[in-house]
């Protein structure tokens, strides 16, 4: 009888310990989830708060009692500058990603071809750019002398070739089975047809991962626009948001925006949070569609081999 109880105790203790361990893990994950989600919830709530309610509740609140979309209406309807900056960010992300990915992919494919003349020289030139840069002033002079200054292309062409992305594509292409290439050549396919009809369809994972990286980089970029763009109509949304948070006055009157917000009962804080949401939601909507390719593409392109 005693031996039977001991056996039961031996079976119960591991289960109890496992349950406590699982409970601890769930508690840690829940805490991390709250820490990660709270800033986003706070931004959403403040963007829906009016100036009057913000002052009534002593600048300390989370959930608005009288939510309003006046800040978003201020951005999309009343203020043409902010709406135009949003469209510039969308156009930059679409154009920059659509041009940068093909250029990077083609360069990576050429560098992966050991029988291609000049592939080693090209690889050396790309590796140099990953270690050393020309510097801010020389790059600015090049952009200015080539006629790109204060133009939309100034945010696209200087970063048209992603050296890190080219290395990822090259490594991925080197890991493709040579038997597929040999079979295609036996069937009489050309080098261009090999890349378009076989290599690129097999590169869906790494293409999606690199496309996400490039799109996020273009969408969040503001420093190059700060250096190369003087026309307010060409400034992206992230630069407008940066100028408002920094209380900078670079070409437009931030005080006028503040005064208008006070008269419309929308605080500048709510306007900033609304701009932050507008700058975050598009990428959050794109990410779920590419998530299944994301990890696979990075691992296959950068680690395998």
Do 118 and 199 have their domain in common? yes
Do 99 and 231 have their domain in common? yes
User: Quick one: pLDDT at residue 156?
Assistant: 92
Q: Is residue 137 part of a domain?
A: yes
- More confident: 197 or 30: 30
DSSP 8-state symbol, 156:
T
**Picking from 4-13, 32-41, 69-78, which range would have the lowest pLDDT averaged per residue?**
4-13
- pLDDT beyond 70 at 10: no
The residue segments making up the domain with residue 203 are 80-253+280-302
User: Quick one: pLDDT at residue 227?
Assistant: 92
Do 117 and 246 have their domain in common? yes
Do 201 and 287 have their domain in common? yes
Report H helices in the chain: 2-47, 51-56, 70-73, 80-112, 119-131, 136-145, 163-174, 178-186, 191-194, 204-220, 223-228, 237-245, 254-263, 268-302
Q: Which residues of 179-203 are buried (b: 16+ CB within 10 A; e: fewer)?
A: eeeeebeeeebeeeebbeebbeeeb
User: CA-CA distance, 41 to 48, in Å (whole number)?
Assistant: 11
User: Quick one: pLDDT at residue 291?
Assistant: 67
Count of domains for the chain: 2
Q: Is residue 285 part of a domain?
A: yes
**Picking from 27-41, 124-138, 173-187, 246-260, which range would have the lowest pLDDT averaged per residue?**
246-260
Do 41 and 184 have their domain in common? no
Q: Is residue 270 part of a domain?
A: no
User: pLDDT tens digits for 210-261?
Assistant: 888 899 899 989 999 999 998 888 999 888 888 877 754 433 444 444 444 4
Q: Is residue 146 part of a domain?
A: yes
- pLDDT beyond 90 at 262: no
User: CA-CA distance, 169 to 188, in Å (whole number)?
Assistant: 25
User: Quick one: pLDDT at residue 152?
Assistant: 93
Do 125 and 15 have their domain in common? no
Do 96 and 186 have their domain in common? yes
Do 206 and 130 have their domain in common? yes
Q: Is residue 52 part of a domain?
A: no
Do 114 and 41 have their domain in common? no
Q: Which of 237, 255, 261 is nearest to 84 (CA)?
A: 237
Do 168 and 234 have their domain in common? yes
Do 38 and 118 have their domain in common? no
User: Quick one: pLDDT at residue 95?
Assistant: 93
**Secondary structure element (H or E) that encloses residue 304, with its range:** none
**Picking from 9-13, 38-42, 53-57, 212-216, which range would have the lowest pLDDT averaged per residue?**
9-13
Task: Express as a percent the part of the chain with pLDDT over 70.
Answer: 81
Q: Is residue 54 part of a domain?
A: no
Q: Is residue 60 part of a domain?
A: no
Do 146 and 244 have their domain in common? yes
User: CA-CA distance, 28 to 63, in Å (whole number)?
Assistant: 25
CATH code, domain with 247: 1.10.3720.10
User: pLDDT tens digits for 63-113?
Assistant: 888 888 888 888 777 767 788 888 999 999 999 999 999 999 988 888 887
Mean pLDDT of the chain: 79
User: pLDDT tens digits for 161-193?
Assistant: 888 888 888 888 888 877 777 787 777 788 778
User: CA-CA distance, 180 to 199, in Å (whole number)?
Assistant: 9
Q: Is residue 53 part of a domain?
A: no
């Amino acid at each position: 009888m005693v031996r039977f109880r001991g056996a039961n105790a031996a079976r119960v203790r591991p289960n109890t310990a496992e349950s406590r361990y699982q409970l601890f893990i769930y508690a840690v994950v829940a805490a991390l989830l709250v820490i990660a989600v709270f800033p986003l919830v706070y931004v959403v709530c403040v963007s829906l708060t009016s100036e009057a309610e913000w002052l009534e509740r002593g600048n300390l609140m989370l959930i608005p009692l009288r939510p309003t979309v006046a800040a978003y209406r201020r951005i999309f309807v009343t203020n043409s500058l902010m709406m135009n900056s949003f469209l510039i960010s969308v156009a930059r992300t679409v154009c920059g990603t659509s041009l940068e990915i093909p250029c990077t992919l083609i360069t990576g494919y050429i560098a992966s071809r050991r029988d291609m003349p000049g592939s080693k020289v090209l690889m050396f030139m790309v590796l140099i750019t990953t270690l050393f840069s020309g510097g801010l002033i020389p790059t600015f002079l090049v952009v200015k002398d080539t006629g790109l200054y204060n133009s939309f292309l100034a945010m696209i062409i200087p970063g048209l070739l992603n050296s890190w992305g080219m290395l990822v594509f090259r490594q991925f292409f080197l890991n493709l089975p040579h038997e597929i290439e040999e079979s295609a050549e036996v069937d009489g396919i050309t080098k261009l047809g090999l890349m378009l009809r076989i290599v690129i369809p097999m590169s869906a994972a790494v293409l999606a991962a690199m496309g996400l990286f490039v799109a996020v980089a273009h969408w969040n970029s503001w420093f190059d626009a700060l250096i190369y763009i003087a026309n307010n109509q060409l400034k992206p949304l992230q630069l407008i948001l940066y100028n408002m948070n920094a209380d900078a006055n670079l070409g437009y009157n931030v005080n006028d925006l503040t005064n208008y917000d006070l008269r419309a009962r929308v605080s500048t804080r709510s306007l900033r949070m609304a701009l932050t949401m507008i700058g975050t939601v598009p990428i959050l909507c794109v990410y779920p569609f590419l998530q299944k390719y994301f990890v696979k593409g990075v691992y296959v392109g950068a680690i395998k081999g």
